[in-house]
Structure 1
Amino acid sequence: MSWFTKTFSSTIGRKVLVAVTGLFLISFLVVHLVGNLQLFKDDGGNAFNVYSHFMGTNPIIRTMEIVLVVGFLLHIYEALVLTRRNKNVRPVAYAYNRPEDNSNWSSRNMGLLGTVILVFLIVHLWNFFVPARFGGLDGVVVDNVQYDNLYIRVVESFHIWWYVVLYVVAQIALGYHLYHGFQSAFQTLGLNHKKYTPAIQMFGAFFSVVVPGAFAAMPLYFFIQHILN
């Protein structure tokens, strides 16, 4: 077994992979959020459809999609392996164990939170990504150019109550997942400093509220708008 394989199959190596892929996925969330904010423009979805077309046709973006999928799969796989190893190390809980005294709720339920997010991602990708990449959307003309009308697909989906509930619950799970994962990633990578760690933790808490909150605002906005109309 080579040093590379041995290193990244160890518990520490797998934690590093989870941390690195986690931070990479966090950067994707920011990019994805900035693009999706186009939904709030009062232009009938033109800006969002142009943005979606760019994301679906730019060769660099399409290449990064492959990297993103690999990052997702690696993050999930390594997290599952670590969870199984932790259970094998301590298969039976101590009779008087009080984990709430030593860790927060999100850190003890990362598996549950990750499962909720994964279920949402599968539904989300099937509903939006698959039609956008493989056809099935109506067309719309913007500045004499034909685009797929993904905006209408999004708006119609956000009129469905159960999908809105799933979306919001998934963002709550994402917030808790990020709250623990953000600071944990820096700790795993050894980026601890008595001066900067509190700032990292504060920014992580801010990020875990603002980003999922912004995502959750989108379906709520269109659903409430639909009800009022």
Structure 2
Amino acid sequence: MSEFKQTFNSSLGKKLIMALTGLFLCTFIIVHLSGNLSLFKHDNGQAFNAYAHFMTHFPPIKVVSYLLYLSIVIHSVYALILTVSNRKARPVAYAAQPKSPASWSSKNMGMLGSILLLFIVIHMKDFWFNYHDFAGNSTVGYKEYKTDLKTGEQISAVDLPAGDYEYSVSTENGVETMVAKDLNATVAIAFKQWWYVAFYVLAMVAVSFHLLHGFQSAFQTLGWTHRKYSPVVKFIGTWFFAVIIPVGFALMPVIYFFSR
């Protein structure tokens, strides 16, 4: 077995893979939240539907998306492997639990990760899978938007009857017409169900605690620690990834449920 294989088959190697895939997923959720903020625009979903089309059809983004799916699988599998290995290494619990500075989130990363994996599966099924219509029974319809290019104001937003359409943007007499899949309507329906909103918020709580430990842990695993910069990493991990990002995601279903 080569030194390369030995390294990545070791406990440290698995942790390195966890750290790298985890940081890649952290960059994705920033982009994902940035795009999803368009849901807050009062434009009948035009900006969000344009964003959804771009994210699923722009070739470089599609390549990154496949890397994302692969990272989720690898991150989940290696997390399971490390959890099982740790339990095998210590099959019998200590008679007296030693005092440890480990946080609650670090002790429950397996549970938090399981909640997130379940959320990702449901989320992908309801939105990504439905949007792509792999099974031929998509509930995502199409919508036509007309915008006055001179004033920038939306003239109309009309649901199109069932039929074969493609995403298109055309201009005639100063009026832009956009036809797009109406994923915004699917989101609105999902976020009107109290149980879905509750599960979404619970998943964001899990994201918060997962990243509270995971972001800083990734830098430690990679050896990227320094007396001067570690406090900055801790600040970003705590306030940006464990507070701002989860709160931003959680606000979407809550606002839709109560005001849309």
Answer whether TM exceeds 0.5 for this pair.
yes
Q: Matches of 1:63 and 1:190 in 2, distance apart?
A: 29
Structure that is richer in strand per residue: 2
Deviation at 1:115, TM superposition (A): 0.4
Give yes or no for contact 1:164–1:219 (8 Å, CA) kept in 2: yes
Structure 2 counterpart of 1:223: 257
The SS at the match of 1:96 is: coil
Q: CA deviation at 1:102?
A: 2.4
Match of 2:125 in 1: 126
SS state at 2:4 partner: helix
Q: Which residue of 1 aligns with 2:92?
A: 92
Give the match's secondary structure for 2:220.
helix
- Aligned partner of 2:10 in structure 1 is 10
Residue 55 (structure 1) shift? 1.0
What is residue 50 of structure 1 aligned with on the other side? Answer: 50
Secondary structure, aligned partner of 1:144:
strand
Q: Following TM superposition, by how much is the alpha carbon of 1:131 offset from its aligned partner in structure 2, in angstroms?
A: 1.5
**Distance in structure 1 (CA, Å) of the matches to 2:245 and 2:56:** 23
* In structure 2, distance between residues paired with 1:150 and 1:131: 9
How is 1:26-41 mapped onto 2 (pairs within 5 angstroms)?
A: 26-41=26-41
For residues 151-170 of structure 1, the aligned pairs below 5 Å read 151-170=184-203
Q: Which has the higher contact order (CA 8 A, sep 6+)?
A: 1
Shift of 1:223: 0.4
The unaligned stretches of length 5 or more in structure 2 are 146-175
After superposition, the C-alpha distances for 1:197-228 in whole angstroms (9 at most, x for unaligned) are 112111100121110110000000000114xx
1:173 aligns with 2:176: no
Q: 2: distance between equivalents of 1:63 and 1:132?
A: 18
- Three-state SS of the structure 1 residue aligned to 2:143 is strand
Conserved 8 A contact 1:117-1:174: yes
Instruction: Classify the secondary structure of the residue corresponding to 2:47.
Output: helix
**Any residues of structure 2 matched to 1:128-207 within 5 Å, and which?**
128-134=127-133, 135-142=138-145, 143-207=176-240
Q: Which runs of 4+ in 1 moved over 6 A?
A: none
Question: Distance between the aligned counterparts of 2:58 and 2:42, measured in 1?
Answer: 25
Greater gyration radius = 2
**Offset, 1:91:** 1.0
Shift of 1:98: 3.7
CA shift, 1:136, in A, is 3.4
| TM-score, length-scaled by structure 1 | 0.95
2:245 aligns to what?
A: 211
Distance 1:39 1:145 in 2: 17
Q: Aligned partners of 1:74, 1:5: CA distance in 2, in Å?
A: 16
Q: Distance in 1 between matches of 2:228 and 2:53?
A: 44
Which of the pair is proportionally richer in helix?
1
Q: Which residue of 1 aligns with 2:77?
A: 77
User: How large is the RMSD of aligned CA atoms in angstroms?
Assistant: 1.1
